Amino acid sequence: MRPMKQMILAAALLLVLSAAVFAAAGDAGDPLITLSRLRTAYLEETQQKARQRAEALSAAVQQYLNQKGEEAKRDLALYSAQSLVEAVVQRLSAQGVSGGAGQITALKKGDVITGPLGAGFVMRQGAAEIVGSELVNITAGGARPAGRAIANNIYYLIPQSDGSGVRIISDTAKAQLRDGAKVVSEGAGAGEYQAQYTQYAQALNVMGLFKGTDIGYELERQPTRLETLIMLIRLLGEEKQALEYQGTHPFTDVTGWPDANKYIAYAVDKGYTNGISATEFGPNNPANAATLYTYILRALGYSDAAGDFTWNSTDRLKAVEIGLLTQSQMETIQQGEFYRDQAAFLCWQSLGAPLKGSDLLLGQKLIEAGAVSQSQYDQAKELLSLR
């Protein structure tokens, strides 16, 4: 605006000065105004008038530009929203949602349809009500709150991985499940946990950060202390160093897998972990969410020793504070036992979190360190975008 304002001021000054000169021209004996008279009688007054006119013109231009700027912002927001909706509709149409594609599943009263963010379903027969937080009605548009009954032949999208979905309230029902939507039967116990984050485990596997076991990802069981420690070392980009480490550790209960000793010895030397006693590490003991929260926060540069958080107390609050999880996601994970499925989701979330006191994201740090490649990261994100 400063160059425009200066141009307006100069133009206004020229107009006012010209008008003043011609208005003040003398008679035949004094055809032109003298320089001294111009300086004493007119200059100050004309400058003041020019400033006033320039300020008025500048204010009018600024008001106009502000108005157009706000209109442009509204147009951009509307365009972005419309583009997003159109992209979703095109994606769903390409997948055959409107044509009835998808697995038809028979349901009974009390069954819950849920799934990860982006999962969807269409009720074909029966009645159901929304549970959790909300659903998105893709067919008609807009969010639908918990407790509300849903209509048949409408495509509903799960907007959060927080247990949101629908509970069947009729004796029987049928639904088409898509993009990871699952059925959890009424009365399912802890041993019947249904994995919600398989796609995140697959994305991490592409990057070499979640490798599973000899029988698969085993997402439906609790992770062990050793497994969560390995996750930490991989998130730090230090797995190569750990496997090359030649030091030892004091624990007598680490047997069987040779690499386990290397991971633990390396982590103890670095101060990343401690044992459950002076002589026991408890490698096969189940790990809870607090253990992985602590490891991830340490990978991001936060220190419980320095008072940034407290294990099994403020660690979950810190995770929400830095944007690792939403409050809803944290509360969902805190319910019941902690599973490898949820651990995979937490590890993926950590890649998009910034390091303490920095704008650098953990995922970017791993790429810069050469622990993963940019192409691996892009491939992992692409895998998730197709879900």
Mean per-residue pLDDT, 159-188: 80
Q: What percent of the chain has pLDDT over 90?
A: 43
Q: How confident is the model at residue 102 (pLDDT cuts 50, 70, 90)?
A: low
| Phi then psi dihedrals of residue 211, to 5 deg | -105, -10
Burial 198-236 (b: 16+ CB within 10 A, else e): bbbbbbbbbbebbeeeeeebbbeebbbbbbbbbbbbbbb
Both tokens of residue 27?
Answer: 């008679």
Cα separation, 276 vs 370, whole angstroms = 33
Q: Does residue 201 carry a pLDDT above 80?
A: yes
Tens of pLDDT along 289-343? Answer: 999 999 999 999 999 999 999 988 899 999 999 999 998 888 888 878 899 999 9
What integer best gives the mean pLDDT of the chain?
79
Strand pairing report for 182-184 and 143-145? unpaired
Among positive and negative, which fits the CA dihedral 9, 10, 11, 17? Answer: positive
Return the pLDDT at 335: 79
CA 329, distance to chain mean position in Å, is 12
- Burial bucket for residue 383 (CB in 10 Å: 0-12, 13-18, 19+): middle
Q: What is the pLDDT confidence band of residue 54, given thresholds at 50, 70 and 90?
A: low
Instruction: Report the percentage of the chain scoring pLDDT > 70.
Output: 71
